[in-house]
């Protein structure tokens, strides 16, 4: 039985005082009872505080990105050793906003995925199609290509620390949401792609999250699908009440 995950990607939101308040609110509300894994990904400047405030709780802290090198002349970048020195061992890689706004290619993401594996970090790896891809009937192929190009040189054991997040780009921050049936269809496809490369056992055990305008009102229906193992939550993760409601939906 795969344990569900609810991960909150705060993106470029919350100053340090605002982040402290949100974490305080989450700690008062979120009771996972070990039934749901809860992860939050604040901006880099809030990570140290977030790690300190969640010590001894069931909330894990993730970074929203990292570089593929340990160190070097990469102005403005953050490395895996820097994150781990703070106590952060989970990272989101390949988010569509990183691909679109910062020109992250499959080749760059392959290097980042290898770095996460080599450092023993948990990698929440994002895939997803544009609206034009879906309209052209290419959505399955696009997601398959993203997976193969970035992850398929990794050994089977790497997937112990890989979580896939399917995010249809047309549903991120738009208010549009894939139907539960569309989410299930793509999640099942991802498992088939992984099974062909690594075998059925791995495909059955990898956790796949849905991301794309998940809200308290639709989370339960989406999470009820057999191949959906929780969500990567954007806007709703910035409100403690909404985020807690989504965590509660994942318990059902």
Q: What is the DSSP string of 58-105?
A: SEEEEES---SSSSSS-TT---HHHHHHHT--EEEE--HHHHHHS---
Q: Tell me the C-alpha distance between 147 and 63, whole Å.
A: 21
Among the listed residues 167, 187, 189, 248, the single catalytic one is 167
Q: What is the DSSP string of 182-211?
A: HHHHHHHHHHHHHHHHH-HHHHHHS-EEE-
State which H helix or E strand residue 122 sits in.
strand 122-127
User: Is 167 in the active site?
Assistant: yes
Among the listed residues 37, 67, 95, 129, the single catalytic one is 95
User: Is 95 in the active site?
Assistant: yes
Q: Tell me the C-alpha distance between 7 and 23, whole Å.
A: 14
Q: Active-site residues: which are they? A: 95, 167
């Amino acid at each position: 039985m795969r344990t569900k995950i609810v991960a909150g990607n705060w993106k470029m939101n919350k100053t340090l005082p605002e982040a402290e308040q949100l974490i305080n609110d989450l700690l008062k509300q979120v009771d996972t009872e070990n039934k749901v894994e809860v992860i939050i990904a604040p901006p880099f400047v809030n990570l140290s505080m977030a790690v300190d405030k969640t010590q001894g709780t069931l909330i894990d802290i993730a970074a929203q990105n990292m570089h593929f090198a340990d160190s070097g002349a990469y102005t403005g970048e953050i490395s895996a050793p820097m994150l781990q020195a703070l106590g952060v061992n989970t990272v989101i890689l390949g988010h569509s906003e990183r691909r679109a706004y910062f020109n992250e290619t499959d080749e760059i993401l392959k290097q980042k995925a290898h770095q996460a594996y080599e450092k023993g970090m948990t990698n929440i790896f994002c895939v997803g199609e544009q609206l034009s891809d879906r309209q052209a009937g290419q959505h399955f192929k696009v997601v398959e290509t993203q997976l193969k190009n970035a992850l398929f040189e990794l050994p089977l054991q790497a997937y112990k620390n890989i979580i896939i997040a399917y995010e249809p780009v047309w549903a991120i921050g738009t208010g549009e949401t894939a139907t539960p049936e569309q989410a299930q269809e793509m999640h099942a496809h991802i498992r088939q792609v992984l099974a062909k490369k690594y075998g059925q056992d791995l495909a059955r055990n990898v956790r796949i999250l849905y991301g794309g305008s998940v809200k308290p009102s639709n989370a339960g229906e989406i999470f009820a699908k057999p191949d959906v193992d929780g969500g990567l939550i954007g806007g709703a993760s910035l409100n403690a009440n909404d985020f807690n409601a989504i965590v509660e939906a994942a318990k059902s």
